[in-house]
């Protein structure tokens, strides 16, 4: 895989397709300063390359299923493969120093003792919290250190924090979250034991092998949205989710689900990722904001703050309360009555 990354004013090509540990970097030439950093970084996730990688992942998944591999073994295989890729990309991102600095407005005078203690890297296997039938170790929490990519455990735990808050706070929409392993197995996932139609919002993490996105289902607005911090499109994902809703409705309600009026969208006027490592944090933040009907008024510059905040919320086992959940709540209630 060749990646073009903005580092100062030079264009850098990195090859991570080889197993070599040489980490060679080739300086190609200067490019005009008018070239947008966003466009350069989008080359990290070239459309054809992403399709090829997604196809490889799907083939691995299907081969494992045909061989009768259990879910636990499948997840272990996937983690091993992702860890190898993560190490290579993270090593190169650190060498290029393309990570955005924390803005002054979000720079805390001092990290809380709890966060500092949680980010101590050893012993890696030490369990920091066990909740929602998920164990978060120091190895997992370390993925929240920039420029690391978030892993399945951190994202699944955070999604459960969002759902847990919605169950406890009756002022908020009822939210149901899916596991990160749901979408890759959507074709063979079967029916949920829970009735998803009793909820207001569904949150579905989408893992495209090397990129995280977030899909949402809003039953009141009859809308399925796909939030990609790289502003990509995924109509296949939207169609699959709609078909899943139709199948679930037929299973639970024994009647066809009327979806003709439903809207499928890939919003573009959303916060945009400006580096190669924050897609998981963006996806979790999209989910958290949408779960409380909040405008997506954050930027790439806020990601260091959200990384630290997620560390704190995970080790404490609950989300911090937002003032916006209290302010304007009557307007939000009226929205959900419609």
* Beta-strand pair 223-227/263-265: parallel
Query: What CA dihedral angle connects 256, 257, 258 and 263, to 10 degrees?
Result: -150
Query: What CA dihedral angle connects 163, 169, 173 and 176, to 10 degrees?
Result: 20
Using alpha carbons, list the distances in angstroms from residue 248 to 51, 64, 195, 235, 245.
28, 26, 8, 20, 5
Is 61 one of the annotated active-site residues of the chain? no
* DSSP letter (8 states) at residue 101: P
Is 284 one of the annotated active-site residues of the chain? no
How many Cα atoms occupy the beta-carbon half-sphere of 254 within 13 Å?
0
State how far the Cα of 13 lies from the Cα of 16, in Å rounded to an integer: 10
Q: Which residue out of 6, 213, 237, 279 is catalytically annotated?
A: 279
**Nearest of 286, 287, 248, 249 to residue 269 by alpha carbon:** 286
Query: Quick one: tokens of 210?
Result: 């090397």
Is 213 one of the annotated active-site residues of the chain? no
Q: Which residue out of 211, 213, 237, 302 is catalytically annotated?
A: 211
Q: Which residue out of 228, 249, 266, 284 is catalytically annotated?
A: 228
Query: Quick one: tokens of 71?
Result: 């879910």
| 263, β-bridge pairs | 223
CB of 210 within 8 A of CB of 85?
yes
Q: Which residues are catalytic?
A: 211, 228, 279
């Amino acid at each position: 895989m060749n990646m073009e990354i903005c580092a100062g004013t030079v264009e850098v090509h990195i090859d991570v397709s080889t197993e070599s540990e040489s980490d060679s970097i080739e300086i190609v030439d200067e490019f005009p300063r008018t070239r947008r950093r966003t466009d350069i970084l989008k080359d990290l996730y070239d459309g054809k390359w992403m399709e090829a990688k997604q196809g490889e992942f799907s083939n691995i998944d299907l081969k494992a299923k045909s061989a009768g591999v259990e879910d636990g073994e499948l997840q272990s295989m996937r983690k091993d493969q992702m860890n190898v890729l993560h190490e290579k990309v993270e090593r190169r991102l650190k060498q290029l120093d393309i990570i955005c600095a924390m803005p002054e407005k979000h720079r805390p005078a001092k990290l809380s003792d709890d966060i500092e203690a949680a980010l101590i890297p050893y012993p890696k296997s030490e369990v920091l919290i066990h909740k929602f039938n998920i164990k978060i170790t120091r190895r997992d929490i370390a993925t929240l250190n920039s420029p690391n990519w978030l892993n399945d455990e951190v994202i699944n735990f955070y999604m459960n924090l969002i759902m847990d808050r919605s169950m406890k706070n009756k002022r908020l929409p009822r939210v149901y979250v899916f596991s990160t392993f749901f979408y890759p197995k959507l074709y063979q996932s079967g029916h949920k034991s829970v009735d998803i139609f009793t909820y207001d919002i569904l949150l579905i993490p989408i893992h495209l092998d090397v990129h995280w996105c977030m899909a949402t289902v809003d039953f009141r607005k009859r809308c399925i949205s796909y939030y990609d911090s790289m502003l990509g499109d995924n109509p296949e994902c939207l169609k699959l989710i709609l078909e899943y809703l139709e199948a679930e409705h037929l299973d639970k309600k024994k009647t066809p689900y009327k979806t003709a009026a439903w809207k499928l969208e890939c919003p573009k006027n959303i916060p945009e990722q400006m580096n190669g490592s924050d897609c998981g944090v963006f996806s979790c933040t999209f989910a958290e904001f949408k779960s409380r009907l909040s405008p997506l008024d954050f930027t790439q510059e806020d990601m260091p703050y959200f990384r630290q905040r997620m560390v704190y919320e995970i080790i404490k086992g609950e989300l911090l309360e937002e003032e916006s959940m209290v302010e304007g709540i009557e307007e939000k209630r009226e929205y959900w009555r419609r």
